[in-house]
Amino acid sequence: MLTKRHHRFVERDTGASHYWNVPLDDAHRIFSEAYSGLAGTARTVRGPSMSASPGKVGVLGVEVVRGEKVFVLKFWQARDPSWVGRVFFAKYDPKATWLSELEPAFGEEEFFYEARYKEIIALAKDGSSGQLLDPV
């Protein structure tokens, strides 16, 4: 029996990933099809996730919310602990393969974490690790 959480990672946006990466929508579809065939004891996986610079972001699915087709995303881990567990939405893009290729949904100028993320990156340039123990 599996007792710990497992992830299906989306290929990082570095190196030769363009040879084998798939759009996020396809990654989620592939995961969902495989997941539906698992026994209940094996359903400890979270689904496709990206180890992006702001944190580990899971692709929970594609939905229509307020008339807009969107990716439903969630931080599993994050540079700012207050982001962990937060669900957020990106405009649906059938070609997007990475977080940096997505745009905020619902006419938002930026994702909820972006302003704080820029501060964290600036701290890292000043010698900090960029990883916070307590939100500032």
d(CA 38, CA 33): 9
Q: Which two tokens stand for residue 97?
A: 């393969």
In 10 A of CB 96, how many CB atoms?
17
With residue 90 as reference, give the H or E element that holds it: strand 87-91
**Tens of pLDDT, residues 3-38:** 334 444 455 555 555 556 788 988 888 888 887 888
Q: What is the pLDDT along the chain (136 residues), one digit of tens a residue?
A: 333 344 444 555 555 555 567 889 888 888 888 878 888 887 777 778 888 999 999 999 999 999 999 999 999 999 999 999 999 999 999 999 999 999 999 999 999 999 999 999 988 876 655 555 444 4
d(CA 81, CA 130): 12
User: End-to-end distance of the chain based on CA atoms, in angstroms?
Assistant: 40
d(CA 24, CA 30): 10
Return the domain boundaries, the chain.
6-125
CA-wise closest residue to 90 among 119, 61, 117, 118: 61
With residue 125 as reference, give the H or E element that holds it: helix 114-125
